[in-house]
Amino acid sequence: MDGTKLTKEIFLKDVSGHSLKIIKDDGLYRHIECSNNGSFNQRFEIVTWPGYLAYTGDMGDYLFSRIDDMFSFFRSPDHKINTGYWGEKCRSESIYGNGIREFSAERFRECVLGDVREHLDLEEDAEIPDDVMEEIEPLLNAENEHECAEEMMNFSSPKIEFNDFWEHTVTQKTWHFIWCCHAIVWAINKYDEEKSDALKCGMEVT
């Protein structure tokens, strides 16, 4: 599933029934749980200690490290996420297919077409001659990482060369990682709201 198509609106619909439970709240040592009435579907927990934030749950597992207070690092009142920078600060990721990046056949095809146009000195999005399209058809029809790699290794043509092709990035951020980034921001905002409400109640009592 293409993670780039995961919007804030889609995420918010996923967690529309979620609530936050604060299990531990001792300075930089925190443990919060977010779920829909205890359901394991898209349930997640966040634990922090000085310099680290661990995210674990139904959508994957990730460990981040950047500054002492990782809530400050991820805090975003307007719910903006930065998957590129945050991905650089991830020290560990899930080993069960829910990591940060995954192969993209679509991105592979885009790079193939881009290299062909560059080799033929064509403008971006210019039509590629039919005889060349016929030669690169096996590359464009490859459907997964294994097929794409095999077709590229076996490709030979007097018209086109792909000498530096694997310098391209043919991966994309996963749906799970982007969902996790949204979840961390959402949970911190909910945490801040609860802390603010608790403070207001305390002030009213006194």
| pLDDT, tens only, 127-162 | 999 999 999 999 999 989 999 999 999 999 888 889
- The reply to whether 127 and 199 lie within a common domain is no
Predicted pLDDT of residue 203: 53
- The reply to whether 15 and 92 lie within a common domain is yes
- The reply to whether 109 and 98 lie within a common domain is no
pLDDT at 204 over 50: no
Q: What's at 183, amino acid-wise? A: A
Question: How far, rounded to the nearest angstrom, does the alpha carbon of residue 68 sit from its chain's CA centroid?
Answer: 23
Domain tally for the chain?
Answer: 2
pLDDT at 200 over 70: no
What's the pLDDT tens digit per position in 95-124?
Answer: 876 789 989 999 999 999 999 999 999 998
- The reply to whether 62 and 16 lie within a common domain is yes
Residue 74: which of 24, 32, 16 has the closest Cα? 32
The number of residues in the chain equals 206
96 exposure class (CB count in 10 Å sphere: 0-12, 13-18, 19+)? exposed
Helix runs in the chain, H state only? 8-14, 70-74, 83-88, 105-119, 130-141, 145-154, 175-205
Predicted pLDDT of residue 1: 63
- The reply to whether 145 and 43 lie within a common domain is no
- The reply to whether 95 and 113 lie within a common domain is no
Longest dimension (CA), the chain: 84
- The reply to whether 18 and 119 lie within a common domain is no
- The reply to whether 26 and 110 lie within a common domain is no
Q: In percent, how much of the chain has pLDDT > 70? A: 94
What's the pLDDT tens digit per position in 40-62?
Answer: 999 999 999 999 999 999 899 99
- The reply to whether 27 and 116 lie within a common domain is no
- The reply to whether 19 and 97 lie within a common domain is yes
- The reply to whether 85 and 119 lie within a common domain is no
The radius of gyration computed from the CA coordinates of the chain, to the nearest angstrom, equals 23
Cα 199 to Cα 44: distance, rounded to the nearest angstrom:
26
- The reply to whether 178 and 94 lie within a common domain is yes
Q: Which domain holds residue 156?
A: 105-169
